[in-house]
Structure 1
Amino acid sequence: MTYQLLKMLHVAAVVAWLGGSLFVSLFLLSSQPQDDDEAPKERKMLGALRRWTLYVTTPAMVLTWLVGLHLAMTFGWFAMSWIWVKIGFALALSALLGIQSAALRRMANGSARRPPLVDLYAPFTVVASAAIVTLVVVKPF
C-alpha cells in the first residue's frame, strides 16, 4: 500500500476512535440516575453505545495502532523524539477508552456510581488529540 493510503486509513481510524471516545465521555458526563419512566430510554442508549464502542470505537483504536506502528517502522520514525511523545498520548487515550468501557459495563450492570474524573474525559481527549496533531505536523524535536 502506498504511504497516502496508509495515512488516510490511519486518520480515518483515529477519527472513528476519538469521535467514539468523545461521545462516551459526554454520555458518562450527562448520565444521571433516572426515575423508572425514563430508565428504559437510558438503558436503550447505553446498550447501543456499548455495542458501538465494542464494534466500532475499539476496532478503530486497534487499527489506528496497527497502521501507525507500521508507518513508524517503515519510515524510521522511532529514531525521532516526537514519535515517543505521540505514543505516550496515544497510550493515555487508549487507557481512557478502557476506563470508559469499564464505566459503561458497570452502568449496564446497574451501578449508579459516577466514574472518577469523568469531568476531565472529554477535555483530555481534545487536548491530547491537539497535542498529537501538533507533534505530527510540526515535528518539534
Structure 2
Amino acid sequence: MDFLIIAYPWIKSAHVVSVIAWMAGLFYLPRLFVYHTERGQGRGEFEELFGVMENKLLRFIMNPAMIATWIFGLAMVATPGMIDWSAAWPWIKAVAVFAMTGFHMWCARHRRLLANGVYTREGSYYRKMNEVPTLLMLVIVVAVIARPF
C-alpha cells in the first residue's frame, strides 16, 4: 500500500489523461453517428468510410482509454486515506462513472447496428444523445472538484 501512496500523483495523472482520451471519443462517436445516419445511409462509399472511422475510434481509442480510466481510478480508490467515503461526492462520482460506462456500451451497440446497416434512429436522436457525456462529465467534475455534497 505504500507504493500506492508514493505513486498516487502519477496514478492520478494517468487517470486524468485516460479520462480526457475517453471523453474525446464519447463526444465524437455520437457525432459520427449523426453523419453516418444523415449522409452515409444508402451511399456505400460513405457508409463504409463512417463505419471504419467509428470502429477505429471505438476499438483503438475509446476502449483502451475506458479500461485505463477504470484501472487508474480503482488504483486511486485503493490508495489508503485518499478518499473520504463518508462524504457524498465519491458515491455521486461512482454512479456517474457507471452511467458513463453504460453510455460507452450504448455507443458500442449503436456502432454495431450501423455497421450492419440497421438504421433505427435518425440523426436528431444521436444529436440529443451526444449531450449525455457532457452532463455526466459536469456531474463528475463538480462532485470531485467543488464537492458541494
Shift of 1:23: 0.6
Question: Residues 33 and 93 of structure 1: is their aligned pair in 2 closer, same or farther, counting only changes over 3 Å?
Answer: same
After superposition, what is the alpha-carbon deviation per residue over 1:66-115, rounded to whole angstroms, capped at 9, x for unaligned?
11121122124434321110011111111011011111111111112217
Q: Which moves more between the two structures, 10-19 or 73-82?
A: 73-82
Tell me which of 57, 76, 81 is aligned to 1:52: 57
Q: Name the Cα RMSD after superposition.
A: 2.1
CA distance in structure 1 between the partners assigned to 2:127 and 2:61 by the alignment: 24
Letter in 1 for 2:32: F
8 Å CA contact 1:96–1:121 kept in 2: the answer is: no
Residue 91 of structure 1 pairs with residue 98 of structure 2 = yes
Query: Which of 117, 138, 141 is matched with 1:110 structurally?
Result: 117
Q: Can you give the 5+ residue segments of structure 1 that lack an aligned partner in the other structure?
A: none
Q: Which amino acid aligns with 1:94?
A: T
User: 2 CA distance for matches of 1:111 and 1:85?
Assistant: 35
Say whether 1:133 aligns with 2:122.
Answer: no
Give the secondary structure class of the aligned counterpart of 2:120. coil
Note the alpha carbon deviations across 1:29-84, whole angstroms, 9 max, x for none.
33226465x43123122123212201220121111111112112212443432111
- Offset of residue 131 of structure 1: 1.5
When normalised by structure 2's length, the TM-score is 0.82
Corresponding position of 2:38: 32
Point out the more displaced range, 49-58 or 75-84.
75-84
Which residue matches 1:17?
A: 22
Query: In 2, distance between residues paired with 1:54 and 1:35?
Result: 22
User: Is the 1:72–1:78 contact (alpha carbons within 8 Å) kept by the matching residues of 2?
Assistant: no
Partner of 1:124: 132
What TM-score, normalized to structure 1?
0.86
Q: Alpha-carbon deviation of 1:117?
A: 4.8
Which residue pairs with 2:3 in the alignment? Answer: none
- In structure 1, which of residues 80, 99, 103 is the aligned counterpart of residue 87 of structure 2? 80
- The amino acid of 1:9's aligned partner reads A
1:128 Cα deviation after fit: 1.1
Q: Number of residue pairs matched?
A: 140
How many angstroms apart in 2 are the aligned matches of 1:6 and 1:42?
40
